[in-house]
């Protein structure tokens, strides 16, 4: 699995290994390569040498996310044709790391080999690597046994270990393992290397043992992947490229499933490699919304886990409030010692309304009223949070201003980089801030919450209240955020109510939330599909011509596939099916330049200028909501929606994809009501 530039990744949920193309790991403090689990790097060096020479890759097979094979030879590339000795490294990630090493002698004489694996573990927290900060304050220790090398790190009650062993006789020392091998002509030698990762409690119990109990080894991964793919609807299409993207997205979602340590047994999507291999409120909820038509099994455990961790008190360090849905949950050293507030951290303003949105959307698809009943109190608490805790200025909007001044997020919307919210001239607004799309989510949550209250919870008075609040928000929002002279909605409100007048992709989210009056929708769509926002590869996060616009700015001009999938969904909701199809074509065509995998983001350069999408240098890949984008775009093109009479709604299929059919869709319609849609008269 190719991810970070020039590297190869092997993934199983939030356990993953990133190496170079020969399988070696030689990390620097700020480089996200190594063996990781639970936000900790357990191996920072894993270097193979044969007779003192490092290995050069001839071929890499990374077709399975959980397994990678490297065909390597010792020495420099110029020695390929002279290589009598070669090797295959087969690496597999499960609860731990297993790597088989086989060495071949194709020479004409006996060969003595000194096979050396150099091993080191820095136990760096993922935040140490991401921000390249700090020295370790705990104690590293090493234990060399006759059959293993144990490397560990201890800081107070926090303890992590990795134990390296081999199936063949070996010499262990503090820096690695050595094998003395003699091979006759045509002979081969093999060993299996094992690296077991442990997160130890003060009483010595390994917190990761629950993961091994669920899956004792990695042997179930092929079966699990096959079952996952077979459970998804079948995509029948003329487009080979679309079929590739769909399958790649399914596999990547399988790779990102993981069970949080504190709630083992539930498979939820990690946000993405390498920095976000953990539970995120916003990312997980939006990924589940995108994938309901294809992989609805992700949704119940995600809702249950987020409900179980819902805020219950007021805590300024964690930015927790009663009813607030978390932003991010971490297990590393910095979270354990509150150097980062992610244990969990609640600094997001959109996860709480999105929790209610997903709960309602899931019930519409599945008919699972039992889950809606089970999570009634959590949904009510999330709705209460919107008005009781998020309205910082008593103006009826969701606002944010960080309370954790040391390590909290400045921007707590989906565009959470420090400069993502700015005026058209580049000035940064003050705090608190109220972004436009968050108000749309709140409106949608109230409308959906009212439906659940009336049809499932048996509380018509609460339903009436929510509908009144939604109507008032609708009117208020369309008065305060609409910029009549420009024909679009402000990106945000400044602390004093001044509209932040930037043109951004956020206005597309307003369409799928339904807060835009029908008569204003054409003007919004004109901007979304105009040259300032639409690059030809998708809608940019920020319009060309704004003060902070940069086609390679993280939230200031790049194209995000997830963002575009929701914009397309909103366009179709308002009847702009041709425009929705254009976005679907642009994003899915871009995926073909990334081997079928949509990255977190890519450059916002014009399609006519580059003729190919430009890679964003540090984009996460695979990314859950980028993989989910394919699913939502297919759903949007087909007009598949439980909100309406789907057979009566025109499809949004671009001619480039020809015929598309999605068969055996899970949910309340059942397999007998499989859904297919194609353009008329397609060959």
Q: Please state the rounded mean pLDDT for residues 577-595.
A: 95
Q: Which two tokens stand for residue 455?
A: 């049809």
Nearest residue to 108 via CA among 185, 187, 188: 185
> 457-507: per-residue pLDDT in tens?
999 999 999 999 999 999 999 999 999 999 999 999 999 999 999 999 999
| Separation between Cα atoms, residue 176 and residue 149, nearest integer Å | 7
Number of alpha helices (DSSP H) and beta strands (DSSP E) in the chain:
18, 27
Residue 667: per-residue pLDDT: 66
Query: Does the pLDDT at position 28 exceed 70?
Result: yes
pLDDT given for residue 618 in this prediction: 85
pLDDT reported for residue 339: 86
pLDDT at 675: 42
Tens-digit pLDDT profile for residues 273-294? 888 999 999 999 999 999 999 9
Side-chain-side CA neighbours of residue 412 (13 Å) = 31
Q: Distance between CA 348 and CA 407 in Å, rounded?
A: 14
User: Which of 493, 351, 498 lies closest to 433 in space, CA to CA?
Assistant: 493
If one counts every other C-beta atom within 10 angstroms of the C-beta of residue 200, the result is: 17
Q: In this model, does residue 298 exceed pLDDT 70?
A: yes
Instruction: Give the model confidence (pLDDT) of 183-219 as tens digits.
Output: 999 999 999 999 999 999 899 898 888 777 666 566 6
Per-residue pLDDT tens over the stretch 332-347: 888 888 888 888 999 9
Q: How confident is the model at residue 640 (pLDDT cuts 50, 70, 90)?
A: confident
Average pLDDT for 433-457: 98
Confidence at residue 570, expressed as pLDDT on a 0 to 100 scale: 96
* Residue 582 phi, psi dihedral angles, 5° rounding: -65, -40
For the chain, what percent of residues have pLDDT higher than 90?
Answer: 77
Q: Which of 76-80, 267-271, 587-591, 675-679 is predicted with the least confidence, judged by mean pLDDT? A: 675-679
Domains present along the chain, CATH in parentheses: 8-214 (2.70.98.40), 218-677 (1.50.10.10)
pLDDT attached to residue 338? 83
Predicted local confidence at residue 644, as pLDDT = 57
Q: What is the pLDDT of residue 558?
A: 98
Instruction: Quote the pLDDT of residue 677.
Output: 39
Q: What's the pTM value of the predicted model, to 2 decimals?
A: 0.93
- pLDDT number for residue 350: 98
pLDDT number for residue 404: 96
Mean model confidence pLDDT for the chain: 91
**How high is the pLDDT of residue 124?**
94
Which of the 8 DSSP states describes residue 646?
G
Kindly state the average pLDDT of the residues 571-597. Answer: 95
Residue 125's pLDDT is: 93
pLDDT of 652 = 75
Q: In the chain, pLDDT over 70 holds for what percent of residues?
A: 92
- Asked if residues 120 and 265 have their Cβ atoms less than 8 Å apart, the reply is no
How many whole angstroms separate alpha carbon 331 and alpha carbon 126?
10
Q: What is the pLDDT of residues 31-58, one digit of tens each?
A: 789 999 989 999 999 999 999 999 999 9
Contact 295, 233 (CB under 8 A): no
What CA–CA distance (Å, rounded) separates 393 from 398? 9
Neighbours of 286 (CB within 10 A): 28
CA distance 38 to 24: 21
Confidence of residue 663 (pLDDT cuts 50, 70, 90): confident
**Does the pLDDT at position 657 exceed 90?**
no
Express each pLDDT in 515-533 by its tens digit: 999 999 999 999 999 999 9
- Return the HEC string of 277-336: CCCEHHHHHHHHHHHCCCCHHHHHHHHHHHHHCCCCCCECCCCECCCCCCCECCCCHHHH
| DSSP, res 644 | S
Q: How far is CA 119 from CA 23, 26, 142, 177, in A?
A: 13, 10, 11, 8
């Amino acid at each position: 699995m190719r991810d970070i530039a020039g590297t190869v990744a092997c993934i199983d949920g939030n356990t993953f290994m990133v190496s170079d193309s020969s399988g070696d790991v030689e990390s620097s403090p700020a480089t996200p390569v190594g063996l990781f689990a639970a936000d900790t790097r357990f191996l920072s060096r894993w270097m193979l040498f044969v007779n003192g020479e490092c290995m050069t890759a001839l071929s890499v097979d990374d077709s399975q996310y959980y397994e990678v094979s490297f065909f390597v030879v010792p020495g420099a590339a110029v020695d390929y044709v002279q290589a009598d000795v070669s090797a295959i490294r087969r690496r597999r990630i499960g609860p731990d790391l297993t790597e088989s090493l086989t060495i071949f002698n194709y020479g004409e004489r006996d060969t003595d080999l000194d096979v050396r694996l150099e091993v080191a573990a820095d136990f760096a927290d993922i935040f140490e690597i991401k921000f390249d900060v700090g020295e370790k304050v705990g104690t590293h220790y090493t234990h060399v046994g006759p059959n293993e090398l144990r490397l560990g790190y201890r800081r107070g009650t926090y303890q992590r270990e990795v134990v390296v062993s081999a199936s063949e006789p070996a010499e262990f020392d503090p820096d690695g393992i050595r094998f003395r091998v003699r091979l006759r002509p045509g002979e081969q030698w093999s060993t299996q290397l094992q690296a077991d990762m442990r997160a130890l409690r003060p009483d010595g119990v390994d917190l990761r043992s629950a993961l091994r109990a669920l899956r004792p080894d990695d042997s179930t991964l092929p079966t699990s992947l096959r079952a996952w793919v077979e459970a998804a609807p079948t995509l029948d299409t003329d487009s080979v490229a679309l079929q590739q993207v769909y399958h790649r997205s399914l596999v990547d979602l399988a790779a990102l499933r993981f069970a949080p340590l504190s709630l083992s047994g539930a498979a939820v999507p990690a946000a993405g490699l390498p920095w976000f291999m953990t539970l995120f409120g916003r990312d997980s909820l939006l990924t589940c919304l995108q994938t309901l038509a294809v992989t609805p099994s992700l949704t119940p455990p995600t809702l249950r886990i987020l409900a179980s961790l819902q805020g219950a008190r007021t805590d300024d360090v964690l930015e927790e409030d009663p009813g607030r849905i978390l932003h991010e949950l971490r297990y590393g050293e910095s979270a354990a010692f509150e150097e980062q507030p992610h244990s969990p951290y609640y600094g997001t303003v959109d996860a709480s309304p999105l929790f209610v949105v997903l709960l309602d959307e899931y019930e519409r698809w599945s008919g699972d009223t039992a889950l809606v009943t089970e999570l009634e109190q959590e949904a009510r608490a999330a709705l209460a949070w919107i008005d009781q805790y998020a309205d910082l200025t008593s103006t009826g909007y969701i606002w944010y201003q960080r309370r954790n001044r040391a390590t909290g997020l400045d921007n707590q919307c989906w565009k959470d980089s420090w400069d993502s919210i700015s005026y058209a001239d580049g000035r940064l607004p003050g705090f608190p801030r109220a972004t436009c799309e968050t108000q749309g989510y709140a409106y949608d949550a109230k409308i959906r919450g009212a439906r659940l209250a009336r049809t499932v919870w048996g509380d018509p008075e609460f339903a009436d209240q929510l509908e009144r609040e939604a109507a008032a928000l609708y009117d208020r929002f369309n008065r305060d955020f609409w910029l009549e002279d420009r024909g679009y909605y402000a990106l945000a409100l400044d602390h004093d109510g001044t509209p932040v007048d930037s043109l951004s992709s956020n206005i597309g989210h307003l369409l799928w939330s339904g807060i835009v009056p029908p008569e204003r929708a054409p003007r919004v769509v004109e901007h979304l599909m105009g040259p300032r926002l639409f690059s030809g590869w998708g809608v940019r996060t920020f319009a060309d011509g704004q003060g902070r616009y940069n086609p390679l700015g993280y939230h200031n001009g790049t194209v995000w596939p997830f963002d575009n999938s929701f914009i397309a969904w909103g366009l179709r909701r308002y009847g702009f099916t041709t425009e929705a199809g254009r976005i679907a074509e642009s994003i899915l065509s871009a995926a073909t330049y990334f081997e079928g995998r949509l990255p977190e983001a890519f450059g916002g350069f014009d399609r006519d200028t580059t003729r190919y999408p430009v890679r964003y240098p540090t984009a996460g890949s695979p990314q859950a909501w980028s993989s989910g984008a394919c699913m939502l775009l297919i759903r949007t093109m087909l007009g598949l929606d439980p909100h309406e009479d789907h057979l009566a709604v025109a499809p949004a299929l671009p001619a480039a994809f020809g015929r598309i059919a999605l068969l055996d869709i899970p949910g309340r319609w059942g397999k007998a009501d499989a859904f297919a849609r194609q353009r008329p008269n397609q060959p």
